[in-house]
Amino acid sequence: MSESSAKNSTTLATKITESIRTAIVSGDIAPGAKLSEAQLAMQFNSSRGPVREAIRRLEVERLVRHVPHEGARVITLERNEIVAIYQVRESLEGMAASLAAQHMSDEDIVALRQLWEQHRAHQHQTGEYMQADGDFDFHYRIIQGSRNPYLIRQLCDDLYQLLRMFRYRSSRFISRSAVALTEHEHIVYAIEQRDSQLAELVMRRHISRAARDIAQAMQTEETKL
Amino acid sequence: MSESSAKNSTTLATKITESIRTAIVSGDIAPGAKLSEAQLAMQFNSSRGPVREAIRRLEVERLVRHVPHEGARVITLERNEIVAIYQVRESLEGMAASLAAQHMSDEDIVALRQLWEQHRAHQHQTGEYMQADGDFDFHYRIIQGSRNPYLIRQLCDDLYQLLRMFRYRSSRFISRSAVALTEHEHIVYAIEQRDSQLAELVMRRHISRAARDIAQAMQTEETKL
DNA sequence: ATCGGCAATATTGTCAACAATAATTACAAA
DNA sequence: TTTGTAATTATTGTTGACAATATTGCCGAT
């Protein structure tokens, strides 16, 4: 487990929170793993206080499940929970796309198009899957474009944490980068046209298909065991 | 400020969290008010530790804004933030209604109808506005009926806290109980018919109208000052 | 050999003191 | 009077010790 990524925030508790969060999301701390206060405190050269604060925060963020007097464990995402999350994501991010088509500045739309061009070029050259990071970047920009602060927080701070955590583990399945690239283009197009209805629909389908692929992959994964 | 509503949870920090949360949501602690650790600790006959934990949790729940070394204050909801929240609520709860129409058990639907009958009877007798609590109860049942655990948490644990906090302050405006009663009936009907599309649409309109009324009321309220 | 209860151990919850940072006040100079 | 600065005060951040609870291991009974 790497506690390297500790940004120099103002307070120790914040740094520890971020370190543990990235460790969970990146899979360095496995789902279901126990978070021992004493152990973590030792690891970060601190006392248990700041570690406790970090765990409490991550508990509210739903990355950690805590039961009194027993301790905290990293959550494990079951199949039905993944499905539930994707269902919400479809609704929320569809709305984000719709709002983005209405509210994004012309410059931001140009930048979005350029980002997509980069992704295409990258895929053309390397023939590689789209990087998860690139995909997230694309979606983040559209969410930001919604200009709805509450929606932005819900998606970026909350839902996407869970998504990242899950994606890291299951990146082996996801080989739909070619399809995704095409779908992204359609989204960019709809936003360029300022067609909020189309943007919403295309985004919803994009996410819906991803969800279907993942659910299917998990299904076969489960039957294999 | 009443710290009376302390349920006997297993841990002190939890009790304090709940007490402060209800105090904020009910308006006993005013928006923008400072949350002093020492003062709260005294108030709850505890040390600062549990109070700090409570504040950290409420911070992640977005009921409190915290800046390092300065302290925590209760958030203040601006007009545009209310609009943003209602926009998200419309999308999420529309989805909840759709899912409820698909997944609610027949018994639960009967119970929902009965609840509505009660509301109607109550209004008939007293001619009163619908109680905010009754309204929340109605919506909660439908959200639960969605059977989507992530959606349920997002709405009940997160969004509705903010809604409650705001509603308490502004209950003076909201006199649309007669309209709401009718709209609720339409929602119940759509769910009884298992018409998920209709349920979603009617719910969205219900919330959209409420949002419009509130935005309008805030507008006039602002110009008055 | 397995199961249930008791002691030992480990872990979490709470507390009070200390350190570090921000807010306030007092004071002096312009 | 006003303004900038330094000292004071108050508040938050962190720590280690102690209390309360859960887990583990041991022992005896069936």
Decide: residue B32, CB within 10 A, 0-12 exposed, 13-18 middle, 19+ buried: exposed
**HSE-up (13 A, CA, CB side) for residue A50:** 19
**Nearest 5°: phi and psi at B35?**
-105, 100
Range A81-99 average pLDDT? 97
The shortest C-alpha distance from A119 to chain B (Å) reads: 30
Nearest alpha-carbon partner for B93 in B218, B183, B215, B216: B183
Burial of A4 (C-beta count, 10 Å sphere; 0-12/13-18/19+): exposed
Nearest by Cα to A32 from A65, A57, A80 = A65
- The reply to whether B70 Cβ lies less than 7 angstroms from strand D is yes
Closest in A14, A62, A91 to B95, CB measured? A91
pLDDT value of position B6: 38
* CB proximity B69–strand D (7 Å threshold): yes
Angstrom distance (rounded) from CA A159 to CA A171: 18
Give the 3-state secondary structure of residue B127.
coil
Query: Is B53 in contact with A53 (Cβ distance < 8 A)?
Result: yes
Give the whole-angstrom CA distance, residue A45 versus residue A97.
Answer: 44
CA distance A136 to B123: 50
CA distance B148 to B6: 30
Query: Is A194's pLDDT higher than 60?
Result: yes
Give the model's pLDDT for residue B129.
60
Question: Tens digit of pLDDT for each residue in B41-69?
Answer: 999 999 999 999 999 999 999 999 999 99
Query: What is residue B156's DSSP assignment?
Result: I
B73 sits in which H/E element: strand B71-74
Query: How many angstroms is C1' of D20 away from CA of A45?
Result: 26
Say whether pLDDT at A225 is over 70: no
- For A147, the token pair is 């200009």
Tokens of A13: 């508790």
pLDDT tens sequence across B184-196: 999 999 999 999 9
Shortest CA distance to A164 belongs to which of A72, A71, A70, A82?
A82
Complete edge-to-edge strand list for the sheet that includes strand A64-67? A34-35, A71-74, A64-67
Identify the CA nearest to A210 among candidates A152, A135, A137: A135
pLDDT, one tens digit per residue, over A55-65 is 999 999 999 99
The rounded mean pLDDT for chain A is: 89
Count CB pairs under 8 A between chains A and B. Answer: 80
Residues with CB under 7 A from strand C: A 10, 34-38, 48-49, 52, 66, 68-72; B 11-13, 45-50, 53, 69-70
| Spacing of B44 CA from C16 C1' in Å | 16
Q: How far apart are CA A36 and CA A49, in angstroms?
A: 12
Higher pLDDT, A176 or B136: B136
Other CB atoms within 10 A of residue B155 CB: 25
Paired tokens of B126: 């007293």
Is the C-beta atom of B59 closer than 7 angstroms to strand D? no
Complex ipTM over 0.85: yes
Collapsed DSSP state (helix, strand, coil) of residue A67: strand
Provide the whole-model pTM: 0.89
pLDDT 10s digits, B29-46: 999 999 999 999 999 999
Sheet holding B71-74, edge to edge: B34-35, B71-74, B64-67
